[in-house]
Chain A
């Protein structure tokens, strides 16, 4: 019902465009720092763990790069990063809308004759659906970068072997990235719509805003895990 009532003609397109751009910055650009930091470190750890686990003369060194690539593209960047974004962005959305609700700012908008769901929630969903895949591409790139630094810094495998590993099976890579971005788009929709729902329908005071924020993160995370399983079944098998 909430999503349906969002699809109305905007009161003023220019205002909505500005809102959309603001949300892209708020939800996407401002999340880049934490995403880049985590991806680089996780990429490095994946490479070190793979290299120590696959310590055999029978297995070529580039397998480490290949394993890191598979882990980062298929699961780490789209799913784990989305779970982290559910924590950061989801709680932010729910607490923003929740505090707007309890301080009557949403009522003020409604009295002015503004469709509050369309004005407040629609830009968040559209912005996330478009910007999260970009953030995840950054995550993949910095994950590989972190892995390369680990390979290069520790000397566990030759640097060129790592690069061969992450470039292997080129045709498969394209499909894997497409699969990751499809998942990310679905997760972006889940995070923003679930968090907006919990924030928008907050009632009470500061305690309830906190509760909405927690619920937004918990429900988004559970739905992401379920959607991940479903999408993997549908797209990879």
Chain B
């Protein structure tokens, strides 16, 4: 479980996060949703240690991340898998080498064992016969899958996904969402997904935090988000014509 307590973060005079608190539960897909510029990505970067918050605590299974020694932080980082918006695959490495990379750096596995594990992860995300291709030679959806395979290759305890569906068609987006949900249950991970895609929210939102102007404005799940009377959440949820129409029909 990851717990954030009273996080504040500013850039110069602009305060991006204000007193944000939330519990990201293990074995569940925890969603951070909100409009662009609301502070979702900054919150994630604070949690994974790329930004240092001015105030507050980030607890990984009860242990304060900021109070950890360098070595302990390094250990935690090897337990984190991250799926970036654009995939962030290494251009100079082939698909298989991208997936093997964390194993090469942090394990004493033989080449054969590494290949077995990497191939298992690639098959798990339905990437077959693409091992020797480079990221530029595969589609955006495939890049996301390879990035997921790389994120889970070390059997992480925590998985972070930054807008996993951006740039994907609706069908591929659903496949990626379901894959994230399945893997979360399979590895019993604490998964944090940052998104503003309502399809994802309704598909995998087991535990949802809505950020509005840097505040933790609303907390719920994929069922309660449909019926909440909260105005800001409603504006966000029913911003698409399709959902607006759906709501009118339901009424």
Count of chain B residues with a beta carbon within 8 Å of a chain A beta carbon: 22
Q: Which residues of B contact A55 (CB under 8 A)?
A: none
Q: Which residue of A lies closest to B73 (CB)?
A: A113
Contacting pair A15 B104 (CB below 8 A): yes
What residues of chain A have their CB less than 8 Å away from a CB belonging to chain B?
11-12, 15, 99-100, 103-105, 107-108, 110-114
Q: Which residues of B contact A113 (CB under 8 A)?
A: 73-75, 77-78, 106
13 sample A-B contacts, Cβ–Cβ < 8 Å, listed by A number: A103-B86, A105-B88, A107-B84, A107-B88, A108-B84, A110-B50, A111-B50, A111-B80, A112-B77, A112-B101, A112-B105, A113-B106, A114-B105
Q: Which residues of B contact A104 (CB under 8 A)?
A: 84-86, 88
Distance to closest chain A CB from B39 (angstroms): 18
Given A104-B85, A105-B90, A113-B77, A12 contacting B50 (CB threshold 8 A): no
Other A-B contacts than A99-B91, A112-B105, 16 sampled, CB-CB below 8 A, are A11-B105, A12-B104, A12-B105, A100-B90, A100-B91, A103-B88, A105-B90, A105-B91, A107-B84, A110-B50, A111-B49, A111-B50, A111-B77, A113-B73, A113-B74, A114-B105
Given A103-B86, A103-B88, A104-B85, A112 contacting B104 (CB threshold 8 A): no
Contacting pair B50 A112 (CB below 8 A): no
Q: Which residues of A contact B89 (CB under 8 A)?
A: 105
B46: interface (CB < 8 Å): no
B82: interface (CB < 8 Å): yes
What residues of chain B have their CB less than 8 Å away from a CB belonging to chain A?
48-50, 73-75, 77-78, 80, 82, 84-86, 88-91, 101-102, 104-106
Distance to closest chain A CB from B120 (angstroms): 19
Contacting pair B78 A108 (CB below 8 A): no
Q: Which residue of A lies closest to B83 (CB)?
A: A108
Q: Which residues of A contact B90 (CB under 8 A)?
A: 100, 105, 108
Q: How far is the CA of A107 from the CA of B89 in the complex (A)?
A: 11
Q: How far is the CA of A41 from the CA of B90 in the complex (A)?
A: 39
Please provide the 7 A-B residue pairs with the shortest distance between their CB atoms, ordered closest to farther: A113-B77, A104-B88, A108-B88, A113-B74, A104-B84, A111-B82, A105-B88
Q: Which residue of B lies closest to A115 (CB)?
A: B74
Q: Which residue of B lies closest to A12 (CB)?
A: B105
Q: How far is the CA of A99 from the CA of B84 in the complex (A)?
A: 15
